[in-house]
Amino acid sequence: MSEPLFRTPATVSTPLPSAARNPLRRHLRALALGLGLMGAAALPAAWAQGVGDDVGKNSAFTKLVPASQVEQAAVQQYAQMLREAQSKNALGSDNHPQVLRLRSIARRLIPYSYEWNPRARDWRWEVNLIGSKQINAFCMPAGKIAFYTGILDQLKLTDDEVAMVMGHEIAHALREHARERMGKSAATNIGVNVISSVLGFGQIGQTLTQYGAQLLTLEFSREDESEADLVGMELAARAGFDPRAGVTLWQKMTAASKGAPPQFLSTHPSGATRIADIERKLPKVMPLYEAARKNG
């Protein structure tokens, strides 16, 4: 298993649905509102620029599951995945050209993640390459990134396009979409006793055990995917990668799908709609890219 990308991350300064008649839904709405009041925090400084106004605060449901436990589960699963890949001779070596390339891109992106999630400063970030024909990549909680060779080889990605993919996946971790999914599952499972159970973390452990084992296969909502696109574009732009590469990236993705979306696109907005969304947001992130290029 490879060593973490960063042991001590460097410090970088950078600039519910409505209540229904169903009693369970009313309890969930009350819980979400209560958690929002108890745990609300000032918006990150990054939100004052770029796409921050289009994103909003993290879901209140993330507060139902401790971040540390979700991250611990991710670390364990990621390590297991690497062991399995290594046993099949499918884990890219530390001196593999594509591994070096991915880690170089990650080093540029990661410092700009801290404003989106302060926990990211303490994550033991890792980037690894898995030999597989799948067109896929992901970033698990705690900064555990993996790319499959299929997405690099079949799509012939440029560095800018890789940065868009990586930024998107990092955004899922920063916005704690996996933790949100677990929180919603926990709230649904414990129903009308949700508040007392949460205060005592009575059934949260069961939910973490049940869903934590699925971190590698979790599917996010279209809203989560669109949000990850926005945050990922900003991360890439601040790091000096051209956010216009998002257009060419998804053109390649669409062409590769041949009518059947690859795993990476399974729950994503797709085609012309996605490209149009990216193009609409470019005016907000292009100045960040231009400033990054000017500053070297």
Q: What is the 3-state secondary structure (H, E, C) of the chain?
A: CCCCCCCCCCCCCCCCCCCCCCHHHHHHHHHHHHHHHHHCCCCCHHHHCCCHHHCCCCCHHHHHCCHHHHHHHHHHHHHHHHHHHHHCCCECCCCCHHHHHHHHHHHHHHHHHCCCCHHHHHCCCEEEEECCCCCCEEEECCCEEEEEHHHHHHHCCCHHHHHHHHHHHHHHHHCCHHHHHHHHHHHHHHHHHHHHHHHHCCCHHHHHHHHHCCCCCCCCCHHHHHHHHHHHHHHHHHCCCCCCHHHHHHHHHHHHHCCCCCHHHCCCCCHHHHHHHHHHHHHHHHHHHHHHHHCC
Bridge partners for 138 per DSSP = 146
Bridge partners for 130 per DSSP = 91, 148
Mean pLDDT of 168-177: 87
Which tens digit of pLDDT belongs to each residue from 142-159? 999 999 999 999 999 999
169 a catalytic residue = yes
Q: Tell me, what's the pLDDT at 255?
A: 86
Q: 277 or 221: whose pLDDT is higher?
A: 277
Which tens digit of pLDDT belongs to each residue from 42-60? 334 444 456 555 566 665 5
Q: 269 or 106: whose pLDDT is higher?
A: 106
Task: Answer yes or no: are the C-beta atoms of 187 and 33 closer than 8 Å.
Answer: no
Which two three-digit tokens encode residue 160?
């800018």
Q: What percent of the chain has pLDDT over 90?
A: 42
Which two three-digit tokens encode residue 213?
């084992």
Alpha-carbon distance of 252 to 249, in angstroms, equals 5
Q: Tell me, what's the pLDDT at 283?
A: 93
Strand order in the sheet with 144-148: 126-130, 144-148, 137-140
Closest CA to 109 of 175, 155, 164, 147: 164
Least confidently predicted of 48-52, 67-71, 205-209, 257-261: 205-209
Closest CA to 95 of 104, 108, 87: 104
Which tens digit of pLDDT belongs to each residue from 223-280? 767 788 889 999 999 999 999 999 999 899 888 877 555 545 555 555 677 788 899 9
Instruction: Give backbone dihedrals phi and psi of 144, rounded to 5 degrees, phi first.
Output: -95, 105
Q: 78 or 4: whose pLDDT is higher?
A: 78
Alpha-carbon distance of 254 to 136, in angstroms, equals 14
Q: 59 or 137: whose pLDDT is higher?
A: 137
Average pLDDT for the chain: 73
Residue with tokens 């971190």: 215
Whether the full predicted model's pTM is greater than 0.85, yes or no, is no
Q: Tell me, what's the pLDDT at 268?
A: 53
Mean pLDDT of 149-178: 92
126, 169, 176, 180: which one is catalytic? 169
Which two three-digit tokens encode residue 256?
């590769």
